[in-house]
Amino acid sequence: SAVISQKPSRDICQRGTSLTIQCQVDSQVTMMFWYRQQPGQSLTLIATANQGSEATYESGFVIDKFPISRPNLTFSTLTVSNMSPEDSSIYLCSVVLAAGELFFGEGSRLTVL
């Protein structure tokens, strides 16, 4: 298993500002994933973050809007840039272990006014 800590757990932000979410894992992992869960919806993969390379973004998500850093094998950040109310969501960090299952952080609940 893995223990994943996300910060902040929740925040209320003003339109046009940016927020950086941190994800810390208690063990070294190759692949980290960032998901978005809009209110009442399922999870949508934003990007895959591998250490030492650029993040791979899914269709509909771009680096300018969601820049990601992955400085080492235990840490990653996701920035939500130039926020609008449509960005109000839970953002979840996750890692995959050898058996193929994902472990998730508790999520960062973002409200944009």
Partner 1 sequence: SQQGEEDPQALSIQEGENATMNCSYKTSINNLQWYRQNSGRGLVHLILIRSNEREKHSGRLRVTLDTSKKSSSLLITASRAADTASYFCATDEGSGGSNYKLTFGKGTLLTVNP
Q: Which residues bind partner 1 (CB under 8 A)?
A: 4, 31, 33, 35, 41-45, 48, 50, 90, 92, 94, 96, 99-107, 109
Contacts of 88 (CB under 8 A, 6+ apart): 38, 39, 110, 111, 112
Closer CB to partner 1, residue 76 or residue 94?
A: 94
Closer CB to partner 1, residue 2 or residue 13?
A: 2
Give which of 33, 32, 38, 34 is closest to 110, Cα–Cα.
38
Q: Tokens at residue 7, please? A: 């910060």
Closer CB to partner 1, residue 16 or residue 62?
A: 62
Minimum distance, C-beta of residue 16 to partner 1, in the bound complex (Å): 25
